[in-house]
Amino acid sequence: MAKPGDNRQEEEINPNYQVDSATRRKAFRAMLGYAKPQRLVFLGVFFCAILAISADLLQPYLVKVVIDDNMLGDQGAGRVIGLGLIYLLLAVISMIFTYLQANLLQRAGQSIVAALRKDLFSHIAKQSMSFFDRHAIGSLVTNESSDTETINQFFTQVLLSIVRDGLSLIMIIGFMFLLDVQLALYCLVLLPLIAIIAVAFRKMLRNSYQRARTQLSRTIAFLAENLSGMSLIQSFHQEKEQVSRFSQRNRKYLKESLREVRATVIFNRSFDILGNLSVAFVVYLGGMAVFNSALEFGVLYAFISYIRQFFQPINQITQQWNTLQSTLVSVERLWRIFSVEPEVRNPKPEQAKELGLERVRGQVDFNHIRFAYSDDRDVLRDLELHIKPGEFVGIVGTTGAGKSSLVNLLARFYDVRKGSIQIDGIDIRQLKLESLHRIVGLVQQEPYLYSGSIIDNVRLFDESIDRDTVIEACRMVGAEQMIKRLKKGYDTLLTERGSGLSAGERQLISFARILVYQPRILILDEATANLDSHTERLIQQALNVVSVGRTTLVIAHRLSTVQQADRIIVMRSGGIIEQGSHKELLQQNGYYADLYHHATRGTAAGQ
């Protein structure tokens, strides 16, 4: 789903979407930076290309020699065989270098793209959570897969075409001049004509291409959504209505795609006709020259061949147009991602402080913090909270009170706007992100599992953590029974998002992670919501195990989850309004007591 700041839609909807050329140039230059380490390879490709096209380009010239010197001239038949052998040799060279060139180029292109993909990945992984709020994962994945792939196509197709076809073009023109300057000059009249046609069609082609693509992506988006919502469509009996809505989009796409086909056909055939026209033109001009004995017949033959060959590379180059277009778009998209600096950054070396994991006591201080996701509305206002080492703190309040924001700040998914958060008296902004994250562990409402074995899911693929540690952790959180029921036990492969396990079972695995990684401060963000009561009890037991000896913050939807906490923090619209133990809070007869009674009132009435 698109979020603010994601401009992909705009690009696809508006065919005239333009980014100012300065940005475009900058972006393009940045991408070319990736090509720099490969420049020797590119030089190699260039030389290969020259040799690869040699046979094709020299053939008319050789035939010309045969015609003029051997057939019309007095050179013997023996030389014909010699020329044939030369051509054979050229053909072999051409074959070898065509092969080499393609392999070299692909190697260079792939190295560039691999580097780009890895850099992009680590750049994205470095971003703070606010980045992920603004960018949908789907669109990041597109950046990572399609956009980089387009850049690969640029290097392997567009660049190849420019080098190979450009060289062909230059060499053809060179041969023409070598053969006859006057006729060559006449032929060059074609160049402006070609330029005019190309420019005239350029816009038309690009527009029709963009418009067809926009319609296609709309159709597909509609389809994808309807497939996911099919059960709803059926249970509301809206099949006909949705079919007709699909029809509208499909029809629009048909219209635009036909327009695109027309544009392409007209463009290609115009070039064809122009090519044949110029052959006729050369035959006329050259024929007259031959007639006046100003030109050898073989030269005319070569000219006819060359002028026919002349259009092939031009055609090839123009076919790269669409690829070049999408490359530019992709480069811009990638540039937009690359130019985002992570909002949460490691401390500067001179300010960094060390806090060894084993020495952490687990005292947490929120000092007058203020925080907002966007500029308009504060989520936390001047909040003050001090937690003792090893304390078990429950946080309650309605949705939007700022509970999750509070713990997100402690994990530095975001940075505070004002005030500071300290662990054992050290501002967390002075800690390296890595060591902070080793200290603070978080269990979320939706446990996230990777595709991989249970062992790997618990140790998060860190092979330096041995099997026994993992098994011990699973045993302690009470997951062992569940895992043993699986056919392959700890080696059972889980699928993405852990389908095949119930919500509670997945949550148990994420609890086991805590015991493996041993953070000193533990946060549970609604980790027991959405579970049925039976599983919740299992989880509660696991919680009792993992919270031992740790500073623990538990955010809960249901008050019953945190009743046993040392202290309960009651939050409302970005601030703490009450705190104390369950009993104390009930005695205060304030907001907490209200919430509590509300949750239980119905029951009392029922009884």
- Measure the CA–CA gap between 454 and 417, rounded to whole angstroms: 39
Q: Look at the alpha carbons of 2, 133, 331, 149 in this order and tell me if their dihedral is positive or negative.
A: negative
> What is the per-residue binding string for another protein in 505-544, x denoting contact by CB under 8 A?
-----x--x---x------------x-xxxxxx-------
Question: With CB under 8 A as the contact rule, which of the stretches 239-247, 388-396, 473-481, 566-574 interacts with another protein?
Answer: 239-247
For the chain, the residue count is 607
Give the side-chain half-sphere CA count within 13 A for 31: 26
> CA–CA distance from 334 to each of 110, 123, 131, 158, 400 (Å)?
17, 11, 14, 19, 34
> What is the per-residue binding string for another protein in 429-468, x denoting contact by CB under 8 A?
----xxx-xx-xxx-x---x-xx--------xxx------
- Measure the CA–CA gap between 395 and 329, rounded to whole angstroms: 46
- Measure the CA–CA gap between 348 and 430, rounded to whole angstroms: 8
- Least Å from the CB of residue 474 to another protein: 15
Kindly state the tokens that stand for 349.
């070396």
Q: Judged by CB under 8 A, which of 34, 87, 177, 373 binds another protein?
A: 87
Q: Judged by CB under 8 A, which of 16, 18, 21, 228 binds another protein?
A: 228
3-state secondary structure of 69: helix
Q: Judged by CB under 8 A, which of 37, 174, 500, 549 binds another protein?
A: 500
300 to 329, contacts with another protein by CB under 8 A?
301, 304-305
CB-nearer residue toward another protein: 335 or 397: 397
DSSP state of 367: E
586 touches another protein (CB under 8 A): yes
Question: With CB under 8 A as the contact rule, which of the stretches 33-41, 259-267, 320-328, 467-475 interacts with another protein?
Answer: 259-267
538 to 557, contacts with another protein by CB under 8 A?
557
124 touches another protein (CB under 8 A): yes
CB-nearer residue toward another protein: 351 or 502: 502
Rg (CA), the chain: 35
Q: Look at the alpha carbons of 20, 25, 30, 32 in this order and tell me if their dihedral is positive or negative.
A: positive
Surface-to-core class of residue 81, CB atoms within 10 Å of its CB (0-12 exposed, 13-18 middle, 19+ buried) = exposed
Residue 386 phi/psi, 5° resolution? Answer: -125, 125
Q: Judged by CB under 8 A, which of 16, 18, 21, 235 binds another protein?
A: 235
Q: Are strands 567-572 and 575-580 parallel, antiparallel or unpaired?
A: antiparallel
- Least Å from the CB of residue 370 to another protein: 23
Contact 206, 321 (CB under 8 A): yes
Q: How many residues bind another protein (CB under 8 A)?
A: 171
Q: Which residue has the tokens 């190699």?
A: 44
- Least Å from the CB of residue 379 to another protein: 14
CB-nearer residue toward another protein: 22 or 77: 77
Select from 189, 247, 254, 174 the least CA-distant residue to 215. Answer: 254
Angle (CA) 550-554-555 rounded to 5° is 160
> What is the per-residue binding string for another protein in 370-409, x denoting contact by CB under 8 A?
----------------------------xx----------
- Least Å from the CB of residue 284 to another protein: 4
155 to 194, contacts with another protein by CB under 8 A?
none
352 touches another protein (CB under 8 A): no
CB-nearer residue toward another protein: 29 or 118: 118
Q: Judged by CB under 8 A, which of 50, 51, 62, 340 binds another protein?
A: 62
- Measure the CA–CA gap between 295 and 408, rounded to whole angstroms: 84
- Least Å from the CB of residue 396 to another protein: 11
